[in-house]
């Protein structure tokens, strides 16, 4: 995620096809190297860094370009893309379990590397938004790295953008915790590993269906996507707060299914709302900065693990991220007010400019006394 700004800039410069294919190749290299690792420290490099960096380059174009390609059905198109990710979670969980049991984890990774070749062919599906032409000297100056860097940093002077990334950073703190610790939590409750895997299946199925549903709903007229996103973040936070009550297998199944349903509402709208709030021109860089801020989610699983080692329970490890999500929903409530203020200020500036131009054309002076007399007669 921390390579989000880099992948966003490369997307602007080289296009989606090159960035996506390069990312897929880096991921494949990392996965293959991981299959030969003989030490956990090697896995930190091959799987933690190589696969992570490659994933940033491979996934960023898909999330950005779908928002730029579509206008009237942008949310639904994004929902379909997110449903693909949910389906991947659902399918890969079962495929890896089978391959690991049958051939071991090393062979499982190598087979997965072969599956990843699909991403290379999929990368060629991206179409440029406009035909490229040879830039002029002036355009080269305007797109110089220094000037571009300054423009990119100007996003952090935008109050709406600052609230947006702050809220979503808090909301995503606990995102990976269920994926890392849910199986261990189920085991502590006496649930077998085979049964516990169905919790992840529930997350995958509900995320898939929810991505399509939220995508369709958010394209309807008179639907405020920002409020939908806020409700989704709040629901996830409240759901995390119920984890101390989930002490049975059916309760964990319900937790996973509801989590996949509500979180998809937020995840689907992330690129769509970023485009709505920041505009198409700033979208790639804004999304990159968002991903960098979302690296806070990487600290969620270690936090929950540390709490478990200290207290022998995952309750606090889920409750604290839940409170973060509730707080994030509160921060999101300020964005509509800031947005309305910004629109009103823009209108005032336009109105003032029009009046200034009008006054310079038509001198609003009192008519001569003779005309007033004649008019009275």
Proportion of the chain in helix, strand, coil states, percent, rounded to 5: 80, 0, 20
Cβ burial of 323 (10 Å; 0-12, 13-18, 19+) is middle
Cα 314 to chain centroid distance, Å, stands at 26
* Per-residue model confidence (pLDDT) at position 315: 92
Q: What is the mean pLDDT of the chain?
A: 80
Which domains can be identified in the chain, with CATH numbers? 4-124+154-346 (1.20.1250.20)
Residue 19 reports pLDDT greater than 60: yes
* Per-residue model confidence (pLDDT) at position 277: 80
To which H or E segment does residue 163 belong?
Answer: helix 159-171
Cβ-proximal residues to 120 (8 Å cutoff; 6+ apart), any chain: 21, 24, 25
Q: What is the pLDDT of residues 64-112, one digit of tens each?
A: 788 778 877 888 888 888 788 778 777 887 788 888 889 999 999 999 8
Q: What span, in angstroms and rounded, lies between the C-alpha atoms of 175 and 321?
A: 8
Residue 138 reports pLDDT greater than 50: no
Q: What is the pLDDT of residues 330-356, one digit of tens each?
A: 998 888 877 766 555 555 555 555 555
CA distances from residue 334 to 6, 256, 286, 343 in whole angstroms, order as listed: 29, 30, 19, 14
CA distances from residue 136 to 133, 139, 141, 142, 290 in whole angstroms, order as listed: 9, 5, 9, 10, 32
Closest CA to 202 of 319, 96, 98, 93: 93
Longest dimension (CA), the chain: 107
Q: What span, in angstroms and rounded, lies between the C-alpha atoms of 10 and 14?
A: 6
Q: What is the pLDDT of residues 289-335, one digit of tens each?
A: 877 788 888 899 999 999 999 999 999 999 999 999 999 999 988 88
Q: What span, in angstroms and rounded, lies between the C-alpha atoms of 209 and 58?
A: 24
User: Please, which pLDDT band fits residue 146 given cuts at 50, 70 and 90?
Assistant: very low
Asked whether 274 and 286 are in contact (CB, 8 A), the reply is yes
* Per-residue model confidence (pLDDT) at position 374: 47
Residue 98 φ/ψ, nearest 5 degrees: -65, -45
Q: What span, in angstroms and rounded, lies between the C-alpha atoms of 96 and 268?
A: 26
Helices and strands, counts by H and E, the chain? 19, 0
Q: What span, in angstroms and rounded, lies between the C-alpha atoms of 113 and 120?
A: 12
User: Please, which pLDDT band fits residue 376 given cuts at 50, 70 and 90?
Assistant: very low
Q: What is the pLDDT of residues 266-280, one digit of tens each?
A: 878 888 888 878 777
Closest CA to 177 of 22, 300, 351, 65: 300
Half-sphere exposure of 113 (CA within 13 A, CB side): 20
Q: What span, in angstroms and rounded, lies between the C-alpha atoms of 2 and 298?
A: 10
This prediction's pTM = 0.68
Out of 146-160, 187-201, 271-285, 314-328, the most confident range is: 314-328
User: Please, which pLDDT band fits residue 139 given cuts at 50, 70 and 90?
Assistant: very low
Residue-by-residue DSSP string for 252-319? HHHHHHHHHHHHHHHHHHHHHHHHHHH-TTTHHHHHHHHHHHGGGGGGHHHHHHHHHHHHS-SHHHHH
Asked whether 286 and 13 are in contact (CB, 8 A), the reply is no
Residue 104 region by backbone torsions, left for phi larger than 0, else alpha for psi between -120 and 50, else beta: left
Residue 366 region by backbone torsions, left for phi larger than 0, else alpha for psi between -120 and 50, else beta: beta
Cα 247 to chain centroid distance, Å, stands at 31
């Amino acid at each position: 995620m921390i390579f989000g700004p880099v992948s966003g800039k490369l997307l602007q410069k080289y296009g989606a096809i090159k960035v996506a294919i390069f990312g897929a190749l880096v991921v494949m290299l990392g996965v293959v190297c991981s299959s030969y690792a003989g030490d956990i420290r090697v896995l930190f490099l091959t799987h933690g860094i190589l696969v992570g960096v490659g994933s940033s380059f491979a996934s960023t174009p898909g999330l950005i370009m779908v928002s730029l390609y579509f206008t009237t059905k942008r949310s639904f198109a994004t929902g379909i893309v997110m449903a693909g990710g949910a389906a991947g979670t659902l399918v890969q969980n079962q495929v890896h379990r089978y391959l690991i049991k049958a051939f071991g984890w090393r062979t499982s990774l190598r087979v997965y590397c072969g599956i990843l070749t699909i991403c290379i062919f999929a990368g060629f599906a991206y179409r440029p938004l406009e035909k490229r032409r040879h830039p002029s000297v002036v355009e080269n100056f305007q797109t110089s790295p220094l000037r571009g860097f300054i423009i990119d940093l100007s996003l952090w002077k935008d109050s709406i953008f600052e609230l947006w990334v702050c809220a979503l950073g808090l909301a995503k703190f606990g995102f990976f915790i269920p994926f890392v610790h849910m199986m261990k939590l189920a085991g502590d409750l006496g649930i077998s590993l085979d049964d516990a895997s169905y919790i992840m299946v529930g997350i995958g199925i509900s995320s898939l269906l929810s991505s399509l549903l939220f995508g369709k709903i958010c394209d309807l007229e008179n639907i405020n996507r920002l409020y939908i996103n806020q409700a989704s973040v709040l629901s996830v936070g409240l759901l995390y707060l119920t984890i101390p009550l989930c002490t049975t297998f059916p309760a964990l199944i319900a937790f996973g299914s509801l989590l996949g349903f509500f979180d998809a509402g937020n995840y689907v709208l992330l690129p769509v709302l970023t485009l709505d709030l920041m505009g198409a021109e700033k979208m790639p860089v804004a999304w990159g900065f968002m991903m960098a801020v979302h690296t806070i989610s990487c600290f969620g699983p270690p936090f929950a693990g540390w709490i478990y080692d200290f207290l022998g329970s995952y309750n606090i490890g889920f409750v604290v991220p839940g409170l973060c999500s509730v707080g994030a929903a509160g921060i999101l409530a300020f964005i509509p007010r800031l947005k309305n203020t910004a629109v009103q200020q823009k209108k005032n500036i336009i109105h003032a400019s029009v009046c200034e131009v009008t006054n310079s054309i038509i001198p609003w002076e009192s008519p001569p006394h003779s005309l007033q007399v004649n008019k009275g007669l």
